[in-house]
């Protein structure tokens, strides 16, 4: 426990997004996988040799702090994602897109129904083996006070220099890291160098490359990066998603158009699913969202 507290104490939040969080510590714990009310079941199994299919089967969910008579946030949601499929999740703000992504690593547990990875109910898996197989790239990047190397290695033990270099190159982070006098040993955080938003993103992407999980959850940044950074981040994210089951909360039209399939989530549930062209042809909710030109409509 002391190590956990020490780790938490060491954490430095770099973005102002943090201020907007639900509660600081709640977000923190989410990111650090430290929510204390979710445990392994007694007979929990290890998730092994993961292929990466995901199924939501009649999922009902509301947050633990909600009242019993509050409506469901997710009300009977079902969908499948096949192995290696790249899915864009779109829909208006508040529809429940982030909520869906939080349930997959079991940051919260469903109230009814089940979520399966490779056909196994995730509630029957150990949290560690489940989360080891899921990579998360968020809009607000969480780095901690420590060296760049420690930040990339986070959560993975016994990594070699070669692996760290390779992951940084894939993430488009290697060059700027090497520009610092101490390279990978450069200290970041309050007492160290300050990184730009794009550099932080690339470090967090390097972390995921190193972890090499079969399942990815991406929360696409809405803006805030300069054009060069944005292009590098996009390019490395494209590499990252190759060959992995990916669920992206998508805001950019290019991501949405390139997805194998788009799931359109509204407050009433999943309205539609299909490719960009299929959904435009349907002239339904997606068509309206697309033609409305309202930035908010893609969440
Ligand atoms: P956005 O695009 O704005 O991020 P979203 O589609 O991702 O929206 P969610 O963030 O999943 O939507 O939120 C769905 C609903 O759940 C909203 O009504 C939100 O207020 C509520 N909600 C989100 N987090 C919590 C929480 N920790 N406790 C209670 N309610 C929450």
The average pLDDT across 41-65 equals 95
CA angle 253, 106, 99 (to 5 degrees): 40
**21, 97, 252: which to mutate for ligand 1, most atoms within 8 A of CB?**
97
31 has pLDDT over 70? no
CB 217 within 8 A of CB 247: yes
Query: Any idea which of 1-15, 111-125, 195-209 has the lowest mean pLDDT?
Result: 1-15
Q: Which helix or strand (DSSP H or E) is residue 213 part of?
A: none
CB 47 within 8 A of CB 126: yes
Ligand 1 atom at minimum distance from 99 CA: 11
Rounded to the nearest whole angstrom, what is the distance from the C-alpha of residue 127 to the centroid of ligand 1?
23
Q: What is the DSSP letter of 11?
A: B
Q: Is the ipTM of this complex over 0.90?
A: yes
- Taking the mean position of all CA atoms in its chain, how far away is CA 138? 5
Ligand 1 atom at minimum distance from 26 CA: 27
Ligand 1 pocket (Cβ < 6 Å) reads: 22, 63, 65-66, 73, 91, 93-99, 299
Protein residue closest via CA to atom 3 of ligand 1: 93
Protein residue closest via CA to atom 9 of ligand 1: 96
Instruction: Collapse the DSSP code of 151 into the 3-class scheme (helix H, G, I; strand E, B; otherwise coil) and give the result.
Output: helix
Strands 112-117 and 120-121: antiparallel
Ligand 1 atom at minimum distance from 22 CA: 27
Rounded to the nearest whole angstrom, what is the distance from the C-alpha of residue 98 to the centroid of ligand 1?
7
Q: How far is CA 13 from CA 24, 143, 198, 257, 265, in A?
A: 10, 7, 15, 33, 31
Query: Any idea which of 52-56, 87-91, 222-226 has the lowest mean pLDDT?
Result: 222-226
pLDDT at res. 222: 64
Please report which confidence band the pLDDT of residue 20 belongs to, taking 50, 70 and 90 as the band edges: very low
Please report which confidence band the pLDDT of residue 292 belongs to, taking 50, 70 and 90 as the band edges: confident
Rounded to the nearest whole angstrom, what is the distance from the C-alpha of residue 265 to the centroid of ligand 1?
13
Percent of the chain surpassing pLDDT 70: 84
Protein residue closest via CA to atom 19 of ligand 1: 94
Protein residue closest via CA to atom 25 of ligand 1: 63
Rounded to the nearest whole angstrom, what is the distance from the C-alpha of residue 155 to the centroid of ligand 1?
27
Put residue 274 in one of left, alpha, beta given phi > 0 → left and psi -120 to 50 → alpha. left
Task: Please list, residue by residue across 122-156, b when 16 or more beta carbons sit within 10 angstroms of its beta carbon and e when fewer do.
Answer: bbebebebbbbbbbbbbbbbbbbbbbbbbbbbbee
The dihedrals phi and psi of 143, each to the nearest 5 degrees, come to: -120, 160
- Closest alpha carbon to 37 in 113, 127, 125: 127
Q: Which helix or strand (DSSP H or E) is residue 77 part of?
A: strand 74-81
pLDDT at res. 6: 40
Convert the pLDDT of each residue in 214-258 to its tens digit: 999 999 876 667 777 788 888 999 999 999 999 999 988 889 999
27 has pLDDT over 60? no
Rounded to the nearest whole angstrom, what is the distance from the C-alpha of residue 99 to the centroid of ligand 1?
6
Protein residue closest via CA to atom 29 of ligand 1: 63
pLDDT at res. 38: 86
What distance in Å separates the CA atoms of residue 284 and residue 117, rounded to the nearest whole number?
Answer: 30
CB 144 within 8 A of CB 7: yes
Protein residue closest via CA to atom 31 of ligand 1: 63
For residue 131 the two structure tokens come to 């989360």
pLDDT at res. 5: 44
pLDDT at res. 32: 56
Please report which confidence band the pLDDT of residue 102 belongs to, taking 50, 70 and 90 as the band edges: very high
């Amino acid at each position: 426990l002391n190590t956990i507290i020490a780790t938490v104490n060491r954490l430095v939040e770099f973005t102002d997004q943090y201020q907007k969080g639900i509660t600081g510590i709640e977000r923190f714990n989410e990111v650090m996988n430290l929510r204390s009310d979710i445990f392994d079941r007694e007979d929990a199994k290890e998730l092994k040799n993961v292929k990466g299919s995901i199924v939501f089967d009649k999922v009902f969910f509301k947050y633990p702090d909600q009242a019993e008579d509050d409506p469901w946030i997710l009300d009977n949601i079902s969908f499948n994602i096949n192995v290696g499929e790249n899915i864009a999740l779109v829909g208006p703000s508040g529809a429940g897109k982030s909520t869906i992504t939080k349930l997959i690593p079991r940051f919260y547990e469903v109230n009814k129904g089940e979520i399966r990875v490779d056909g196994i109910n995730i509630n029957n898996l150990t949290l560690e083996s489940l989360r080891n197989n899921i990579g998360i790239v968020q809009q607000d990047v969480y780095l901690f006070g420590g060296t760049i190397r420690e930040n990339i290695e986070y959560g993975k033990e016994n990594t070699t220099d070669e692996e760290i270099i390779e992951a940084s190159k894939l993430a488009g982070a290697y060059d700027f890291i090497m520009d610092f006098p101490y390279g990978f040993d450069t200290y970041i955080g309050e007492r160290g160098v300050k990184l730009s938003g794009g550099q932080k993103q690339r470090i967090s992407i390097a972390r995921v490359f190193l972890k090499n999980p079969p399942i990815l959850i991406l929360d696409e940044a809405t803006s805030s990066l300069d054009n060069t950074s944005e292009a590098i981040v996009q390019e490395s994210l494209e590499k990252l998603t190759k060959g992995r089951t990916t669920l992206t909360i998508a805001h950019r039209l290019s991501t949405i158009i390139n997805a194998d399939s788009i799931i359109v989530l509204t407050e009433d549930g999943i309205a539609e699913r299909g490719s960009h062209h299929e959904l435009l042809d349907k002239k339904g909710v997606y068509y309206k969202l697309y033609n409305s030109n309202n930035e908010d409509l893609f969440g």
